[in-house]
Structure 1
Amino acid sequence: MARVRLSVAERRDELLRAAIGQIEERGVAAVRIADVAASLGVSNALVLYHFSTKEKLVSAAFAYAAEGDLAHLRRLLDRRGPALRRLRAAVRWYAPTGQAKGWRLWIEGWAVALREPALREVGRGLDRQWKAAITEVIAEGVAAGEFECPDPAATALRLTALLDGLAVQLTSYPGSVPRARAQTWVDEALARELELSPQALSEREG
C-alpha cells in the first residue's frame, strides 16, 4: 500500500515525533538516523533531507517536545477561573505523578545538554518560559487576594526545582519514593509557598 504523500511540514512533524519516541526508548547516545527511519518505514536519505545530521534532528526533536509542553501549559493557565485553581492544575499536570509525558526524554536532555550547546539552549528556553508562566499566575492570585506570596519568581523556581528533582527520583529510581508521598510533598510545598494550610489549599481551589 502506497504511503500517503505528506507536505513538508507534516513530514517534518512525523519525523520529529518518531525521533522523540526513539530517544525515549534508546537514549540520545544510542539512537541513530536509521532507527528513526526504520520506525516510519522510510529511507535514511529522507530523514537526512529534512535534518542533515543526527545532532540537528535531536535538537529539533527536543525543541518540538518543548513547544508541545509549553502549549499545554498555556492552555491550563489560560482557562477562566481562580488563579489558584489554574496554578494547581498546572503543577499537578507537570508533576511526575501527573499526566505530563516525556520525563525520560527531559532527563536525557538534561544529561546531553552538559555537552551540547544547542540542547542546552532548548532546555534553558523551556525552563525560562515555564517559570515565567508560573510566576505570572502566582502574581495574578496575589493581586486578586487569593493567597500571599512575597516573591512569585522565587516560588516558581523552588516549585520547579522540587518537581524536576522528584521526576528524577520517580523516573530513574522506580520505587525510591511512593507516588502518593511525592504528591503529598508537592501539595505541601505549594501550600507553604502560598502561605496556606494544605486544607485551605484544597478548600480554596474548590
Structure 2
Amino acid sequence: MSAAAATPPPGTRQKPAVRRALIVEAARGVILRDGLGATRLRDIAAGAGVSIGTVTYHFASVAEILNEVVVLETARFYSSIIEAVDAEPDPVVGVRMLVDPLFAATDETDEHWRLWSDYWTAVARKPAVAAEYVERIRVWEACLTRTLRRGVADGRFTTADPSALALKLAAYSDGLATQLAQKAPGLTSELALQWMCTFLEHETGASFTG
C-alpha cells in the first residue's frame, strides 16, 4: 500500500504508531524517487500527509528515518524467504533460496538495492547511524550462517567457519549489486548469480548449479 493510499481523511487523528508508520512508508517512496541526497524532511512530510513538526516529533533527521526504512525493507524483502529457508531441510537448496532473489530481474529487487545503496552511503559517512540496527537489518546474513552450519553438520559443506563465509558472501553480493546498479558493462543479473554460485561452490565444496 502506498503512503498516499494509507493517508486518512483530513481531520482524522491517528495514533502515534500509525503516524510513524506513515512517515516511514512515505520516506521510502521519496528516497526511491529523489535519492537520499535530495530527500528533505518537508518532502517526507508532504508524502505522508503530515506536518514537518509531526515528522520531527518522531524522528530527529532523515538519517534516522532511513534506518527505519531499511528495517521495513528488510522485513518486506526477506521475512518470507527466511521463514522458508529455515524450514528447508536441504541446506544447498536453502542457500540458493537466499541467493537467487538478490539477483532477480524485478522492480522489487532493483528498489531493494537502491535503498541499500543509499543506506551504505549514509553509514559510511556516519557509522553510528547503523549501530543499534545491526541485528534487525543483517537477517539475511544470520539466516545464511544458520543454513551453512546445517550443511556443515550434515557433511554437505566443507567450510570451517560458516559465520565468516556468510560475511564473505554478503560482501560479495553487495559488491555485485552495486556494480549492477552502476550498469557495469557486460554484467547482468544472470551473470551475477552465476558468479555467486561459482563462489559458493569454491567455498563450500558443494554444487550449486544444475
TM-score bracket, shorter-length normalisation: 0.7 to 0.9
- SS of residue matched to 2:155: coil
- Give the structure 2 partner of residue 142 of structure 1: 152
In the alignment, the residues of structure 2 paired with residue 148 and residue 84 of structure 1 have an alpha-carbon distance, to the nearest angstrom, of 12
- SS of residue matched to 2:125: coil
Per-residue Cα deviation, 1:75-113 (whole angstroms, up to 9, x for no partner):
232223312211110111234657644111111111121
Q: Report the CA distance shift for 1:147/1:27 in structure 2 as closer, same or farther (over 3 A).
A: same
Q: Report the CA distance shift for 1:197/1:51 in structure 2 as closer, same or farther (over 3 A).
A: closer
- SS of residue matched to 2:170: helix
Superposed, which structure 2 residues align to 1:30-41 within 5 Å? 30-41=38-49
Which one of the candidate residues 36, 53, 74 is aligned to 1:45? 53
Which of 35-44 and 58-67 deviates more?
58-67
In the alignment, the residues of structure 2 paired with residue 195 and residue 74 of structure 1 have an alpha-carbon distance, to the nearest angstrom, of 23
TM-score, normalised via structure 1 length: 0.80
TM-score, normalised via structure 2 length: 0.79
In the alignment, the residues of structure 2 paired with residue 70 and residue 38 of structure 1 have an alpha-carbon distance, to the nearest angstrom, of 29
- TM-fit CA distance, 1:177: 0.7
CA contact (8 A) 1:170 1:176 kept: no
Instruction: Identify unmatched segments of 5+ residues in structure 1.
Output: none
Q: Report the CA distance shift for 1:7/1:126 in structure 2 as closer, same or farther (over 3 A).
A: closer
User: Is 1:105 equivalent to 2:115 in the alignment?
Assistant: yes
- SS of residue matched to 2:160: coil
In the alignment, the residues of structure 1 paired with residue 167 and residue 104 of structure 2 have an alpha-carbon distance, to the nearest angstrom, of 17
Which of 153-162 and 101-110 deviates more?
153-162
Matched residues, percent identical? 29
- Give the structure 2 partner of residue 171 of structure 1: 181
Count of matched residue pairs: 200
- TM-fit CA distance, 1:163: 0.6
- SS of residue matched to 1:58: helix
CA contact (8 A) 1:170 1:177 kept: yes
Aligned-CA RMSD value: 2.8
Instruction: Identify unmatched segments of 5+ residues in structure 2.
Output: 1-7
- Give the structure 2 partner of residue 24 of structure 1: 32
Which of 175-184 and 105-114 deviates more?
175-184
